[in-house]
Structure 1
Amino acid sequence: MRWRTRMTAVLVASAAVAGLAAPAASAVEHDAALVPAADREVRFTADGTTAYGTLHVPAHHAGQRLAAALLLPGSGSTDRDGNQPPELMPGTLALAAGTLGGDGVMTLRFDKYFTGRTGSGAYQGDPGRIDLAAFTRQAAAAYATLRAQPEADPHALLVVGHSEGGMQALLLARTVRPAPAGLALLAPQDEHFLDVLDFQLDAQLDQGAAAGQFTAAVAQANKAGVAAAIADFRAGRPADTSTLLPPLAALLNALFGPDNARFVRSDDAVYPPDVARGLHRGTRVTVTCGAADANVPCTTTPPLLAALTQAHTTGPGLRTLDGVDHFLHPAGTSVNDRMLAPAALAALHEFARPWKR
């Protein structure tokens, strides 16, 4: 990352007695005050578990305070870089950190519970005890760690969340102090968790029927079975998955089973637009939706956008990214191609513009 506003001006002072110009400050002396870009490993503790992360500090002049963004990953076992090794390696958060660093914004991304170096921590042997609030507390500890960095400007703290991390960004913004000056919600979860899941599974069943993997009648029966299982789980009844296709039954049994049920219930209890209405007035918010995003379609964003308007947040607001998928890649590229689509890069640059150095 290069420092974009490197100054090379030479200050000249007059010598009153001799009438001669004082020696100009040399470029070498000035450059000595430039601190090069660097990554450093950080650690912090939440609820008795040590979490590990990467702090990226862009090039800056010694003593300069920088805007600082906490990056929050998507759902499941997604690590600090936005990956689920070894199969899913899009690098979404690592790429976002590099993009923001190019604009002079320092970033912290970390391995949440059950990922990377952090691992299961206090939940070792009993993952069923964890809920959404535990992840929010962990993110709050990360935010405090970022705020405490000597390079961080406490008046320019930001949160950037991808997918489920977008919902976490909203939850975090209502609890931490000082409140973030800006939020970038990248393809954010904007509905109840199980409603998102229901939509995604319906779409996959439609695709399977269109591809001839099973009949339309089978797809319709499984859609109804998924909806019934979700309704049973929400009502506290045993969810009957016996009539579902085996992959669907396995997925729902895992989500509704003892290792995940508590987390799923706590996540499903959150309606992101309700959280958004509690944001601080004047918070700068960017919301992206990819026109090719099969996970969080643009059609679901209006309630969240309306809530942000009610909270009197400021722009940029919604940015619809044509030809962009859920991982902010150009549609049609491999999920493991480590690149952000030009439209996604532009949205990040626009979000960071007030804090660009």
Structure 2
Amino acid sequence: MKPLSRVLPAAVLAVAVAVPTQATAAARIVPAADHEVTFAVDGTTTHGTLHLPAHRPGHRLPAALLLPGSGPTDRDGNQPPALTPNTLAGLAAALGSDGVATLRFDKYGTGRTGLGAYTGRPEDLDHPAFVRQADAAYRLLSSRPQIDSHAVRLIGHSEGAMTALVVATTARPRPAGIAMLQPQAMRLLDVIARQLHDQLTGAAAAGQLTEEQKQAAILAVDRAVADFRAHRPVDTATLLPPIAALFQALEGVNRRFVASDDSVDPARVARRLPAGMPVLLTCGTADPQVPCDTTDALTTALRRAHTRGPGRVVLPGVGHSLDTSAAPGVLAPSVLAALRDLLRP
């Protein structure tokens, strides 16, 4: 019997051997999936979701750690049952469609994590505990075999943006970039005072307060902030009732956290970022919580630290939840465009 090489032309043999079937090519793609993950930090088991987009076996993916905003905000960016914008879940889905893996987790006091080691003593929780939790999450994400450890970004929303900024100054391996979406860009009590000033000014404009009452209320707020920072009792008798209730809450079980959060000046932290680090900072023109001018000092600090772009991006019509009034609950296209600019290799 003659060898096949003598019966068939060489070109035909090459075609017969080299062309795979469509089924074989499809089998080489690992489908997109969510994976429940846990990690331990400070005696607490933290629960999270690792989303891996569709990829080829052995291919290492770019990734992002997603950090939630203030209060009891869970891994999806929600405070159920009242507030469910799905901010982080929406970001994970959008990034996944672009081939970026994500990790998001239930921080202390939320979801399956709960208070963990702080059960029964929530007054001991402070901002550094949340930073250590985020840093542990970053190390877990960077160590996964499917992840390119040199292509991991930090993406934080609101207070989570400030946490991301702090983590970025010391994280190893060095983050490939950081996105601060509608960030807490000033010290916490300065943010609260600014918001109260704006509300009092609005009340006076609406005829609910006289000009004299407005000025007296603003001075009382400033005194309350100064007393809180000096560890003096806040005289709530001089505050309007809703504002008095707010400061009573700040002085209660939350005092340690508020004081430690307020001790962080984001602009000062930004000066410690490595030169050349890509940074995105967004602010929305429809965001009363983070008006664009409150990010001026942070933006200047980023420039002086010699970070790279995109830098600050102003998002017309975008609110604090990263959506617009025309499409509430849907991530604004301008947000995703800004993120893609940061994530571009």
Normalised by the length of structure 2, the TM-score is 0.93
Structure 1 residue 251, shift from structure 2 partner: 1.1
What are structure 1's unaligned runs of at least 5 residues?
A: 1-14
**1:159 corresponding residue in structure 2:** 154
Structure 1 residue 25, shift from structure 2 partner: 1.0
Measure the CA separation in 2 of the matches of 1:286 and 1:261: 31
Structure 1 residue 185, shift from structure 2 partner: 0.7
**2:315 corresponding residue in structure 1:** 321
1:88-125: CA deviations, max 9, x gaps?
11111111111111111100011100111111111111
Q: Name the stretch that deviates more: 62-71 or 83-92.
A: 83-92
Secondary structure of 1:191's aligned partner: coil
**1:290 corresponding residue in structure 2:** 284
Measure the CA separation in 1 of the matches of 2:326 and 2:52: 33
**2:229 corresponding residue in structure 1:** 234
Pick the aligned partner of 1:77 from 72, 76, 96: 72
Secondary structure of 2:312's aligned partner: strand
Structure 1 residue 219, shift from structure 2 partner: 3.2
Structure 1 residue 18, shift from structure 2 partner: 4.0
Q: Which has the larger radius of gyration?
A: 2
Correspondence 1:266 to 2:274: no
Correspondence 1:342 to 2:337: no
Are 2:150 and 2:174, in contact at CA under 8 Å, matched by a contact in 1?
Answer: no
Query: What is the letter of the counterpart of residue 202 of structure 1?
Result: H
**1:220 corresponding residue in structure 2:** 215
Measure the CA separation in 1 of the matches of 2:82 and 2:41: 29
1:168-207: CA deviations, max 9, x gaps?
1111011210010110110111111100010011112223
Are 2:162 and 2:266, in contact at CA under 8 Å, matched by a contact in 1?
Answer: yes
1:8-33: CA deviations, max 9, x gaps?
xxxxxxx7984123321111101101
Pick the aligned partner of 2:344 from 340, 350, 353: 353
**1:305 corresponding residue in structure 2:** 299
Query: What is the letter of the counterpart of residue 145 of structure 1?
Result: L
Query: What is the letter of the counterpart of residue 132 of structure 1?
Result: H
Are 1:120 and 1:127, in contact at CA under 8 Å, matched by a contact in 2?
Answer: yes
Structure 1 residue 133, shift from structure 2 partner: 0.6
Structure 1 residue 215, shift from structure 2 partner: 4.0
Query: What is the letter of the counterpart of residue 265 of structure 1?
Result: A
Normalised by the length of structure 1, the TM-score is 0.90
State percent identity of aligned pairs.
56
**1:200 corresponding residue in structure 2:** 195
Query: What is the letter of the counterpart of residue 323 of structure 1?
Result: G
Measure the CA separation in 2 of the matches of 1:66 and 1:51: 23
Measure the CA separation in 1 of the matches of 2:146 and 2:50: 11
What are structure 2's unaligned runs of at least 5 residues?
A: none
- Aligned residue pairs total 336
Are 1:103 and 1:352, in contact at CA under 8 Å, matched by a contact in 2?
Answer: no
**2:273 corresponding residue in structure 1:** 279
Are 1:95 and 1:338, in contact at CA under 8 Å, matched by a contact in 2?
Answer: no
Query: What is the letter of the counterpart of residue 189 of structure 1?
Result: Q
Structure 1 residue 330, shift from structure 2 partner: 0.8
Are 1:185 and 1:287, in contact at CA under 8 Å, matched by a contact in 2?
Answer: yes
1:211-268: CA deviations, max 9, x gaps?
44444443332222111111111111101111322221111111122x1111111111
Higher relative helix content: 2
**1:8 corresponding residue in structure 2:** none
Supply the RMSD in Å over aligned alpha carbons: 1.6
Are 1:100 and 1:352, in contact at CA under 8 Å, matched by a contact in 2?
Answer: no
Structure 1 residue 138, shift from structure 2 partner: 0.4
